[in-house]
Amino acid sequence: MTELNRQILLVSRPEGEASVDNFKLVETPLRPLEDGQVRVRNHYLSLDPYMRGRMSDAKSYAPPQPLNEVMIGGTVGVVIESKHPKFKAGDKVVGGFGWQEFGTSDGTGLKIVDDTHVPLSAYLGAVGMPGVTGWYGLNRVIEAKAGETIVVSAASGAVGGVVGQLAKAAGCRAVGIAGGEDKCRYVVESLGFDACVDYKAGNLYQDLKAATPDGVHGYFENVGGDVLDATLARMNAFGRIAVCGMIAGYDGRPLPIKNPRIILTQRLKLQGFIVSEHLDIWPEALKELGGMVAQKKLHFRESIAVGLENAPDAFLGLLKGRNFGKQLVKLI
Amino acid sequence: MTELNRQILLVSRPEGEASVDNFKLVETPLRPLEDGQVRVRNHYLSLDPYMRGRMSDAKSYAPPQPLNEVMIGGTVGVVIESKHPKFKAGDKVVGGFGWQEFGTSDGTGLKIVDDTHVPLSAYLGAVGMPGVTGWYGLNRVIEAKAGETIVVSAASGAVGGVVGQLAKAAGCRAVGIAGGEDKCRYVVESLGFDACVDYKAGNLYQDLKAATPDGVHGYFENVGGDVLDATLARMNAFGRIAVCGMIAGYDGRPLPIKNPRIILTQRLKLQGFIVSEHLDIWPEALKELGGMVAQKKLHFRESIAVGLENAPDAFLGLLKGRNFGKQLVKLI
């Protein structure tokens, strides 16, 4: 009997907000493995905000996700069959098989990882793309120095949590911005930030001002909109802003910067970046992040949806901040 | 008989648009010169957009201009009396005596210049602060490379004209944005830009698109508002924006960036800067700019108001783009 591979395709592009109707679950028979191929049973699928950009065909840094193909995405899993000399059954691998239960590959982009000291799922979070994103923005764009105040939005998320913990380790004051009391408590108590501002409490600027008595030297931006405006108004002279994401505008809403004159008056640097364009720093970053996770010096939290069929809803929740920590889909 | 020094004071701060009522002309007797002092008859007063910022007491990079004191500003003139060992009558000097006919100083910030090959007034323009501003933004923020397309707003102005000519000299395509057919014709025909877009013609984005077939690699921003929005939409990946001024918002109007997401999607760098904070590059920049002016390789135009009493009106005109080239006030 031929085994079936459940897959989720993008079947339409959102007009405004994305919806579950943009996706479709299909079952596709697995073909016999060919020479040079390896087959992986995916254990976890990573859901990340960048995927919302790929759903649209607006001009961006990456081509849009093609319609009627399996949604892209990072995965971790276990090799179940191999006709490839570099892989054997049982190998734990990280790759980009997208929203499906099985992946078949010629090995390109597939990397064997060790889950002895680092949980397999962490290779999609703190020791994967999100972690490296935080590392790059903090170290190469913000260039944080000891004694400085570093603010990060979406602080309880996969990227934000890493930014604040690395900032603390570098001797900075780390201030998070997150949505809701629970997330803020977690950011301070579990991740060790110095403070966290709840943007849903309705007093964002005043609360941020109280949390940043020396102003803000560096800001890691994941959100945009009101959160960016409030933080801009707290920036010190020569402040640096790493623009990693603007999730508040991913559904096409206008997301202006209300007072960009502060870029001039405070001589700020704003720099957008995409971590996949800086592959040279990945080995250094992953080594540091993996070491910290293994030594329990870098903490993270996961929101796990169970079952491929729940990926679309979990993804839409991520866009609205319903996740708490790194959003994953458990596939087995 | 004691000679009188005519001076213009700032007597009130603007609410919204600046007006002539914010200024007051007074006559103050000149005191006898003391040992160690030098007295200068100012020939030209420089009017610059940054002065609008100093009229307000909003948080900025520089303290506000104090009320009831002589307005700050760059001046060039001739020493008429000296009890200072480094200066003698007849020396041509550039300094910052502000909006007054005579300046008295202990020599601090006063520099003797040679007007044999460079006109004295140019030390307030192409071979002065505006020229160095253009040089710094192009070379140190944008880091323009041969073959790139460089756009500059307020292209017929003191800073913008230098930016485009230096860009051409560096092998770039130089595209100006200016207000009106006359200014655009001047920018192309006299300054040698490859193209100039008239933002008053009502078709800014389409005209800019036509003038930048390869997109925009570097943008030197003097204006803000709609001009910034239009240029942002033309930026290439890894584009650099030197934020030098946002004159469109100097009267307190809101001046949002409508679509900052492009900072992320095109991985742009925006950097605000103030040239007076980069004194280390002034000698190199002034040498290059002075050499180009002396060899007639760097062209500029001046708008000259005559008489100190006309400085306020000329300044308000500058804020509205009524000047055409470097705005000066001739004092003698």
| Closest approach of B21 to chain A, Cα-based (Å) | 26
* Count of residues in chain B: 332
Per the document, the length of chain A is: 332
Q: What per-residue confidence (pLDDT) applies to A321?
A: 85
Question: Other C-beta atoms within 10 Å of B236: how many?
Answer: 17
Whether residue B267 and residue A246 make contact (CB cut-off 8 A), yes or no, is no
* Mutation target vs A (from B153, B232, B265; most A CBs, 10 A cutoff): B265
Alpha carbons within 13 angstroms on the beta-carbon side of residue B68 total 0
Question: What 3-state DSSP class applies to A220?
Answer: strand
Strand partners, B220: B152, B242
pLDDT of residue A120: 97
Percent of chain A with pLDDT over 90: 90
Q: What is the interface pTM, i.e. ipTM, of the complex?
A: 0.88
Q: Is pLDDT of A325 > 60?
A: yes
A53, A250 contact by CB (below 8 A): yes
B243 part of contact set with chain A, CB < 8 Å: yes
Q: How far apart are CA B157 and CA B160, in angstroms?
A: 5
Residue B238 distance to chain A (closest CA, Å):
9
With residues binned 3-state (H G I as helix, E B as strand, rest as coil), the percentages for chain A, rounded to 5, are 30, 25, 40
Q: Number of A:B CB contacts under 8 A? A: 98
Q: What is the pLDDT of residues A71-120, one digit of tens each?
A: 999 999 999 999 999 999 999 999 999 999 999 999 998 999 999 999 99
Q: Which residues of A touch B260 (CB under 8 A)?
A: 224, 228, 243, 246, 255-257
Helices A158-169 and A129-136: angle between axes, nearest 10 degrees:
50
Of residues B311, B4, B296, the one with CA closest to residue B122: B296
Contact (CB, 8 A) for A293 and A126: yes
What's the pLDDT at B1?
57
DSSP state of B249: G
Over residues A123-136, the mean pLDDT reads 97
Residue B247: its pLDDT value, please? 79
* Domain B4-125+300-330 superfamily per CATH: Medium-chain alcohol dehydrogenases, catalytic domain (3.90.180.10)
Report which of A182, A70, A76, A74 is spatially closest to residue A130, judged by C-alpha positions: A74
pLDDT digits (tens, 9 = 90+) for A263-293: 999 999 999 999 999 999 999 999 999 999 9
In the prediction, which pLDDT does B159 show?
Answer: 96
Query: What φ, ψ does residue B242 adopt, rounded to 5°?
Result: -90, 115
Count CB-CB contacts under 10 A for residue A231.
26
Determine contact, residues B332/B78, Cβ cutoff 8 Å: no
Mean pLDDT by 10 residues, chain B (332 residues): 90 94 97 97 96 86 91 98 97 98 96 96 96 98 98 95 98 97 96 97 97 98 94 97 86 84 95 95 97 96 96 95 93 94
The token pair that represents B108 in the structure block: 């601090």
Query: Which has more pLDDT, B255 or A252?
Result: B255
CA angle centred on A104, ends A95 and A19, rounded to 5°:
70
Q: What single-letter DSSP state applies at residue B255?
A: -
- The CATH number of A129-276 is 3.40.50.720
The answer to whether the beta carbons of residues A254 and A226 sit under 8 Å apart is no
pLDDT, one tens digit per residue, over A197-208 is 999 999 999 999
| CB contact at 8 A, A38 and A89 | no
B61 — contact with chain A (CB < 8 Å)?
Answer: yes
Q: Is B246 within 8 Å of A254 when comparing Cβ atoms?
A: no
| Nearest-CA distance A39 → chain B (Å) | 34
Supply φ then ψ for residue B177, to 5 degrees: -125, 125
Q: What is the pLDDT of residue B253?
A: 74
Q: For residue B201, which amino acid is it?
A: A
CA distance B83 to B297: 39
d(CA B193, CA B175): 6
Instruction: Please give the structure tokens belonging to residue A198.
Output: 């709840």
* CB-nearest partner of A274 from B243, B255, B267: B267
Greatest Cα pair distance, chain B, in angstroms, is 69
Spell out the alpha helix ranges (H) of chain B: 50-55, 129-136, 158-169, 181-189, 204-211, 226-232, 261-265, 282-294, 311-319
Q: How far apart are the first and last CA of chain A?
A: 20
A4-125+301-330: CATH topology is Quinone Oxidoreductase; Chain A, domain 1 (3.90.180)
Cβ-contact B263, A270 below 8 angstroms: yes
Backbone dihedral angles phi then psi of residue B237, each to the nearest 5 degrees? -55, 140
The domain segmentation of chain A, as residue ranges, is: 4-125+301-330, 129-276
Beta strands in chain A (DSSP E): 4-10, 23-29, 38-46, 69-70, 75-82, 92-95, 102-105, 111-112, 149-153, 173-178, 195-198, 216-221, 235-243, 269-272, 302-306, 326-330
Contact assessment for residue B199 and residue B222, using Cβ atoms and an 8 Å cutoff: no
Tokens (6 digits) for B113: 């210049």
Of B186, B193, B177, the closest CA to residue B324 belongs to: B186
Predicted confidence at residue B11, as pLDDT, reads 98
8 Å CB contact between B111 and B105: no
Contact B243 A258 (CB under 8 A): no
What is the H or E stretch that residue A294 is in? helix A282-294
- Indicate yes or no: CB of A256 within 8 angstroms of CB of B259: yes
| pLDDT surpasses 80 at A221 | yes
